[in-house]
Amino acid sequence: MRIVIAEGSAVLRAGLAHVLAERGHQVEAVGDAGALGALAGTHRPDVLIANAALPSARTDDGIRAVLAAGHRWPRGGLLVYSESPEPRYAARLFAGSGTRSGVGYLLQERIHDARLLLEAVAGVAAGGTVVDPRIVGSLATGDTAGGTGGELGVLSGRELEVLELMAQGRTNSAIAQQLNVSPGTVEKRAAAVFGKLGIPCTGHDNRRVLAVLRYLGAQPGAVSGHEPRMTLARVA
Per-residue confidence of the chain (236 residues) as pLDDT tens digits?
999 999 999 999 999 999 999 999 999 999 988 888 888 888 899 999 999 888 765 666 778 888 888 888 878 899 999 988 777 777 778 777 766 778 888 999 989 999 999 999 998 998 888 888 777 666 655 554 444 444 678 888 899 889 888 877 778 888 999 999 999 999 999 989 988 888 876 655 577 777 877 776 665 544 444 444 444 433 33
- What is the pLDDT at residue 179? 92
User: Which residue among 110, 140, 170 closes a domain?
Assistant: 140
What separation in angstroms does the CA of 138 have from each of 57, 122, 186, 230, 232? 25, 24, 27, 16, 19
Does 182 lie in the same domain as 129?
A: no
Output the domain CATH number for residue 31.
3.40.50.2300
What separation in angstroms does the CA of 230 have from each of 3, 34, 98? 20, 30, 18
Output the domain CATH number for residue 191.
1.10.10.10
Please check whether residue 84 lies inside any domain of the structure.
yes
Please check whether residue 51 lies inside any domain of the structure.
yes
Please check whether residue 33 lies inside any domain of the structure.
yes
Comparing C-alpha atoms, which of 70, 125, 61 is closest to residue 97? 70
Does 191 lie in the same domain as 135?
A: no
Beta-carbon contacts of 234 under 8 Å, excluding residues fewer than 6 positions away, are 101, 169, 171, 205, 208
- What is the pLDDT at residue 32? 85
Does 108 lie in the same domain as 32?
A: yes
Does 199 lie in the same domain as 105?
A: no
Does 112 lie in the same domain as 73?
A: yes
Tell me how far apart the alpha carbons of residues 87 and 161 are, in angstroms, rounded to a whole number: 25
- What is the pLDDT at residue 203? 55
> What's the number of domains the chain is made of?
2
Please check whether residue 66 lies inside any domain of the structure.
yes
Does 161 lie in the same domain as 112?
A: no
Contact 91, 146 (CB under 8 A): yes
Number of separate helices (H) and strands (E) present in the chain: 11, 7
- What is the pLDDT at residue 181? 93
Beta-carbon contacts of 78 under 8 Å, excluding residues fewer than 6 positions away, are 47, 48, 50, 66, 67, 70, 93, 97, 100, 102, 103, 104, 124
Backbone angles phi, psi at 201, to 5 degrees: -85, 80
Please check whether residue 146 lies inside any domain of the structure.
no
- What is the pLDDT at residue 222? 45
Comparing C-alpha atoms, which of 67, 68, 71 is closest to residue 80? 67
Tell me how far apart the alpha carbons of residues 126 and 77 are, in angstroms, rounded to a whole number: 8
Tell me how far apart the alpha carbons of residues 51 and 6 are, in angstroms, rounded to a whole number: 6
Residue 232's identity, in one-letter code, is L
Contact 163, 209 (CB under 8 A): no
Residue ranges making up the domain that contains 96? 2-140
User: Which residue among 140, 170, 194 closes a domain?
Assistant: 140
